[in-house]
């Protein structure tokens, strides 16, 4: 059974950098075949895709966040990480990590496994 677990500080000061790590078990990031993603949910709002990374290090980001986001991977630890700089109160959200199936002409199995989420509050 694939499991993902987010970890990192729950409180970040404005203008600083939010850093979260997702630890994967039950699958090996380096085996390829999937993308590894971050999604966030602002309080009382819907889901917002942040970006994803492939085991090779190739990334794709939400254009609205691209200038502030970096997603990296550490295959030796079977982890991937999110870094969001210059945070403001608008970045307060629950941050989820998820596994994403690749698309093919015949279909797409979506975001098939998710972590439980980590609440990050931006406040001084």
Does 55 interact with another protein (rule: CB under 8 A)? no
Q: How far is the CB of 16 from another protein (least distance, A)?
A: 26
Q: Which position among 18, 24, 37, 71 is part of the footprint of another protein (CB under 8 A)?
A: 37
Write out the binding residues for another protein, residues 74-103 only, by CB under 8 A: 96, 98, 100-101, 103
Q: Which is nearer to another protein, 29 or 69 (CB)?
A: 69
Owner of token pair 């970040």: 12
**Region for 10 from its dihedrals, namely left if φ exceeds 0, alpha if ψ lies in -120 to 50, beta otherwise:** alpha
Q: How far is the CB of 15 from another protein (least distance, A)?
A: 26
Does 110 interact with another protein (rule: CB under 8 A)? yes
Q: Can you spell out the DSSP letters for 62-104? A: -TTTTTTEEEEEETTTTEEEEEE-S--GGG-EEEEEEEEPPPB
């Amino acid at each position: 059974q694939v499991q993902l677990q987010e970890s990192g500080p729950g409180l970040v000061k404005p203008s600083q950098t939010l850093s979260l790590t997702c630890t994967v078990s039950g699958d090996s990031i380096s085996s390829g075949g999937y993308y590894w993603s971050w999604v966030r949910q602002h309080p009382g709002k819907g889901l917002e895709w942040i970006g994803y990374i492939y085991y090779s290090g190739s990334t794709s980001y939400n254009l609205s966040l691209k200038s502030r986001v970096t997603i990296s991977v550490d295959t030796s630890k079977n982890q991937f990480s999110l870094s969001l700089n210059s945070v403001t109160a608008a970045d307060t959200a629950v941050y989820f990590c998820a596994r994403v199936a690749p698309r093919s002409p015949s279909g797409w199995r979506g975001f098939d496994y998710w972590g439980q989420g980590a609440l990050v509050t931006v406040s001084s």
